[in-house]
Structures are given as C-alpha cells and as structure tokens.
C-alpha cells in the first residue's frame, strides 16, 4: 500500500521534521463510546489514511485496544498500533499509552500517572483545559485535568491538539500554557468517535514506528497538527452525538420508569 495515498483533507501539514511519521494517539471504538469496532477502525486507518501509528484509547477499558492488537498481529497492516486507554481520573481525563493492563478509574491524577508509569507506559494529559461541567453536570468526568494538576504532575506529554470539533480555543490556550509554563512533549490526537474523524489531529515525530513515537515524546521532539473537517464529516459527527444524546436521555428516562415501577406495583 502506498503510504502517501492520503485521502484525508489535510491542508495543515507544515512541519519542521523532515520525513516525519504521523501518529493519531487518541481514538475510541465501540468498546467504549465510539462507533467503529476495532476491526472497522483498523481497516479505515489502513485504507483511508496515511497514519504510521495509531493508539486505541477507549474510556476506562483496554478491551477494544487489546482486540485491535490481536487483529493487528494477525493481519498485515502498514501502520503500528499502540494499546492505550483514556483513564477517568478524579481530576480529569488522562491518556495512557503503551500499557498492557487496564488502569483503574477514579483515582487521583497523581496515582493514575504513577500506575501508568509502573507499567512502563506514557501519561498524556488529554484536552487538559476542557471544562464541560458548566454545560452538563453529568459530564463532569469528561473534563481535562486543569491547570493546577497540569503544573504539579509529571505528565510525559500534553495534548495541545484535540481534534474534536469546537476545541480551537482550548487547544490554543493549552499550546500557550505548554510553551510558556509546562514545557512537556506536545501531542495531537483526533479523539475520534467515528472513523471519519480519525486523523483530525495528529502528532508528527522523527521516524515511522510506535517506538520512534515513544522516543520522540521522551525527547520532546514531537509536533502537534490539526486538520479541518469537511462539512459532511461534521454532519456525521453531529448525527452520531445526537443519537448518543437520545440514547442517554432514553436510558435516564427508562431508569426513572424502572425505579418507579416497584412502588406503583406495591400501591
Ligand atoms: Zn476525554
Ligand atoms: Zn477521548
């Protein structure tokens, strides 16, 4: 497969790293709240992108990532795969890369990072300045770790590009903060929940392999890049999140009905 056959809308690829490898280290599958199965994700990356490395980072599970790893080992893919997880710490989301076992959720950020390092993994602060609690109190755990945690904990990298739509302001503020105060390796990831979003945010690094990527994070030689969505890709995302909201609403409503039923039965 010709690795330069890039079908993505990729106008922003300007890099200081000659012949850089390209990694999307933040993706979701249907093992958490993403749409594609691990197989669908791998097929998409192989056929529709020019990514050299991809990490599967489902919310609080490695099931999808481990399944992807199994399929990847059995197949003949031209890209490398990293087993990861987006860990819900008490402070906010932390991406674990190069892990073998799941990291428990709802621990302090400090303990989460320690557990990731204990497995020999890398800890990346995901969308660190994202705060959703003022929009929806139920979404508290979708926040990033925030400035204080970012400054006090030894993260290996900071996601200065999160490829979700509407993240431009947070990304700009995170980049400024990292370049003036934090000085960690800069990473970019799509946070893709649908396959069309894969690569809408990626990390460039010297080399081509997952181990080259790892070395680049450790040596802080990475570069984060964002790409723009096409209108039809955005529309797919809006539809996906719309359906997810309806499902959540249904679950909440159904949950309430179920809770009420025994009482009405008794009366
Ligand atoms: Zn997140
Ligand atoms: Zn995510």
Expressed in angstroms and rounded, the spacing between residue 88 Cα and the centre of ligand 1 is 8
Say yes or no to pLDDT of 111 above 70: yes
Expressed in angstroms and rounded, the spacing between residue 83 Cα and the centre of ligand 2 is 14
Expressed in angstroms and rounded, the spacing between residue 153 Cα and the centre of ligand 1 is 18
Expressed in angstroms and rounded, the spacing between residue 28 Cα and the centre of ligand 2 is 7
Q: How many CB atoms lie within 10 A of CB 191?
A: 28
State whether 187 and 263 are in the same domain.
no
Residue 53, C-beta contacts closer than 8 angstroms, at least 6 positions apart: 21, 22, 23, 24, 25, 79, 80, 81, 82, 208, 209, 210, 213
- The pLDDT assigned to 253 comes to 61
Nearest to 57 by CA among 8, 107, 17, 94: 94
Residue 34, in any domain of the structure = yes
* Least confident interval from 82-86, 152-156, 196-200, 231-235: 231-235
Structure confidence at residue 250 as a pLDDT band (50, 70, 90): low
State whether 116 and 148 are in the same domain.
yes
- The pLDDT assigned to 267 comes to 44
Backbone φ, ψ for residue 29 (5° rounding): -120, -175
Average pLDDT, integer, range 86-114: 96
Percent of the chain past pLDDT 90, that is, above it, reads 71
State whether 220 and 244 are in the same domain.
no
Structure confidence at residue 14 as a pLDDT band (50, 70, 90): low
State whether 25 and 105 are in the same domain.
yes
Residue 183, in any domain of the structure = yes
Residue 69, in any domain of the structure = yes
Residue 105, C-beta contacts closer than 8 angstroms, at least 6 positions apart: 60, 87, 88, 89
Average pLDDT, integer, range 123-141: 75
Average pLDDT, integer, range 67-77: 97
Range of the domain at 71: 21-229
Which residues are found with C-beta within 5 Å of the ion, ligand 2? 86, 191
Expressed in angstroms and rounded, the spacing between residue 142 Cα and the centre of ligand 1 is 5
Count of structural domains within the chain: 2
State whether 28 and 128 are in the same domain.
yes
Radius of gyration of the chain, Cα coordinates, nearest whole angstrom = 19
Expressed in angstroms and rounded, the spacing between residue 135 Cα and the centre of ligand 2 is 18
State whether 238 and 219 are in the same domain.
no
81 touches 113 (CB < 8 A)? no
Expressed in angstroms and rounded, the spacing between residue 130 Cα and the centre of ligand 1 is 9
Expressed in angstroms and rounded, the spacing between residue 146 Cα and the centre of ligand 1 is 12
State whether 225 and 241 are in the same domain.
no
36 touches 249 (CB < 8 A)? no
> For residue 64, what is the domain's CATH number?
3.20.20.140
State whether 27 and 83 are in the same domain.
yes
Expressed in angstroms and rounded, the spacing between residue 65 Cα and the centre of ligand 1 is 16
Rounded distance, CA 15 to CA 117, Å? 30
Nearest to 88 by CA among 21, 139, 129: 139
192 touches 159 (CB < 8 A)? no
Rounded distance, CA 191 to CA 197, Å? 8
3-state secondary structure of 237: helix
Average pLDDT, integer, range 87-99: 96
Expressed in angstroms and rounded, the spacing between residue 171 Cα and the centre of ligand 1 is 13
State whether 29 and 65 are in the same domain.
yes
Expressed in angstroms and rounded, the spacing between residue 264 Cα and the centre of ligand 1 is 40
Question: Which numbered ligand comes closest to the C-alpha of 197?
Answer: 2
Q: Where are the beta strands (DSSP E) in the chain?
A: 21-27, 53-56, 80-88, 93-97, 122-125, 157-162, 185-189, 202-205, 223-225
Mean pLDDT across the chain, nearest whole number?
A: 88
Expressed in angstroms and rounded, the spacing between residue 105 Cα and the centre of ligand 1 is 13
Expressed in angstroms and rounded, the spacing between residue 260 Cα and the centre of ligand 1 is 33
Residue 8, in any domain of the structure = no
Cα 33–Cα 6–Cα 44 angle in degrees, nearest 5: 30
Residue 256 parent element (H or E): helix 231-266
Expressed in angstroms and rounded, the spacing between residue 213 Cα and the centre of ligand 2 is 19
User: Which residue is associated with the tokens 């076992």?
Assistant: 101
């Amino acid at each position: 497969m010709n690795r330069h056959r890039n079908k993505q809308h990729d106008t922003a690829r300007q890099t200081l790293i000659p012949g850089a490898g390209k990694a999307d280290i933040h993706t979701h599958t249907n093992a958490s709240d993403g749409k594609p199965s691990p197989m669908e994700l791998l097929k998409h990356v192989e056929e529709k992108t020019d990514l050299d490395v991809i990490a599967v980072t489902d919310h609080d599970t490695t099931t999808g990532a481990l399944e992807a790893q199994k399929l990847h080992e059995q197949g003949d893919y031209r890209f490398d795969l990293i087993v990861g997880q987006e860990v819900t710490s008490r402070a906010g989301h932390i991406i674990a890369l190069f892990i073998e076992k799941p990291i428990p959720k709802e621990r302090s950020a400090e303990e989460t990072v320690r557990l990731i390092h204990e497995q020999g993994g890398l800890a990346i602060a995901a969308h660190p300045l994202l705060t959703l609690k003022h929009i929806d109190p139920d979404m508290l755990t979708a926040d990033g770790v925030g400035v204080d945690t970012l400054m006090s904990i030894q993260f290996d990298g900071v996601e200065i590009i999160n490829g979700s739509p509407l993240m431009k302001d947070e990304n700009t503020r995170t980049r400024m903060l990292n370049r003036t105060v934090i000085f960690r390796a800069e990473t970019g990831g799509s946070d893709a929940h649908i396959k069309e979003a894969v690569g809408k945010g990626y990390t460039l690094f010297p080399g081509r392999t997952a181990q080259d990527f790892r070395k680049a994070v450790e040596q802080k030689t990475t570069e984060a890049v964002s790409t723009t969505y096409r209108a039809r890709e955005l529309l797919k995302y809006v539809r996906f999140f719309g359906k997810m909201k309806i499902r959540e609403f249904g679950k909440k409503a159904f949950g309430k009905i179920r809770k009420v039923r025994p009482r009405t039965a008794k009366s």
